[in-house]
Amino acid sequence: MSPHQLYSAARSDHQLNVTKTTHNMPPVVAAGCIIWRQKKDKIEVLIIHRPHYDDWSWPKGKQDHGETVAETAVREVREEVGLTVTLGAPLAVTRYSVKHGKKEVFYWAARASSSDHAQADLSEVDELRWVSPAEARKLLTNDTDQEPLDALIALHERGHLHTRPVIIVRHAKAKPRSSWAGAEGERTLVATGKRQALAVGELLQVWAPTRIISSPWTRCMQTVAPYSKATGLVIKQKSALTEAAYKAHPKKVAKIIQGLFDKDDSVMLCTHRPVLPTVLEVLTGVMDAGLAKNLPAADPYLTPGEMLVMQVSVGAQAEIVSLEQIKPFSD
């Protein structure tokens, strides 16, 4: 990812491939979700009516300063329908013109449980309904809102709608090797890196991984500490993920990465830049060849604090459904 790139997303069905940089982000950016739930062997989606616009649409809203688009989506869902969701596969980026110029809206799938109770924010939403995708299609006011619905239906038909995240994080910015007199494993984050670590912790909450795996070296542990503290999750330290251990036994890293796809749980892993070539080699081997072309191919692969987010289908035939690359902070 170049220094100017903020976000990219692609799916294994090749129906989504977007890269957003500081140069091609439009004047107006918004994000939201199609919230879905299982109803026996069918699904229902949550659609809302906004009196100000007199339209039926999906929960969404404008990006706040300092937010990533993923954080915007989760916040807007919480504010408009009272649900705290975790993001699934990216669905679409819709585009249309508004008063202030071009607008783009980023959409994700988000699963709700049968016990979740949606409640409309009456200042923005005066009615919400759980309906079938076919009923939603009839109700939607704006044609652009059909695009994320089409993507959600296609994922459901392929058995790829119910997913879990697997996330790879490069540790945040550390003190330079040249100015560090202590042991390499004890090199700490600089002030910028500590701010990046806080941003990493906040962004991870939109996917809510339930396992944290990290190199035990200080700069990795400091990077994942804010998320660990916020969730109460214990960090599982893997010495094979350190730079020194990787040089001696790179195959151990490969085994750890392959193991991320063996269980139906959500997981994040933090490691070092020199370890990333083997990480990416394993990922290339376990995902669709077309999707793998979107993996970073040149050193440094990920900037400090940057992450790869893969959605893996839950079920008998687990597959990597989508790949996102995202910076959780502004330079």
Residue 217's pLDDT band, with cuts at 50, 70 and 90, is: very high
Closest by CA to 131, choosing from 32, 52, 35, is 35
Residue 41's pLDDT band, with cuts at 50, 70 and 90, is: confident
Whole-angstrom distance, CA of residue 196 vs CA of residue 212: 17
pLDDT of residue 292: 97
Residue 22's pLDDT band, with cuts at 50, 70 and 90, is: confident
Q: What is the pLDDT of residues 234-257, one digit of tens each?
A: 999 999 999 999 999 999 999 999
Whole-angstrom distance, CA of residue 257 vs CA of residue 295: 15
Residue 4's pLDDT band, with cuts at 50, 70 and 90, is: low
5-157: which CATH topology? Nucleoside Triphosphate Pyrophosphohydrolase (3.90.79)
Residue ranges covered by each domain of the chain = 5-157, 163-326
Residue 5's pLDDT band, with cuts at 50, 70 and 90, is: confident
- Per the structure block, which two tokens stand in for 34? 């199609």
Question: Mean of the per-residue pLDDT values for the chain?
Answer: 94
Find all residues with CB under 8 Å of 113, minimum gap 6, and list them: 37
**Domain formed by 163-326, architecture:** 3-Layer(aba) Sandwich (3.40)
- Per the structure block, which two tokens stand in for 112? 């709700």
C-alpha distances in Å from residue 307, one per residue of 89, 161, 330: 15, 22, 14
Least confident residue range of 8-12, 83-87, 171-175, 176-180: 176-180
Residue 113's pLDDT band, with cuts at 50, 70 and 90, is: confident
Euclidean distance between the first and the last CA atom of the chain, given in angstroms as a whole number? 13
- Per the structure block, which two tokens stand in for 191? 């002030």
Q: What is the pLDDT of residues 269-302, one digit of tens each?
A: 999 999 999 999 999 999 999 999 999 999 999 9
Question: Is pLDDT above 80 for 331?
Answer: no
Torsion angle of the four alpha carbons 261, 263, 269, 275, in this order, in degrees rounded to the nearest 10:
-40
Closest by CA to 267, choosing from 208, 308, 206, 317, is 208
**268 within 8 A of 213, measured Cβ to Cβ:** yes
Q: What is the pLDDT of residues 155-198, one digit of tens each?
A: 999 999 999 999 999 999 999 998 898 999 999 999 999 999 99
C-alpha distances in Å from residue 325, one per residue of 2, 60, 147: 11, 21, 22
Question: Is pLDDT above 60 for 1?
Answer: no
Q: What is the largest CA-CA distance in the chain?
A: 66
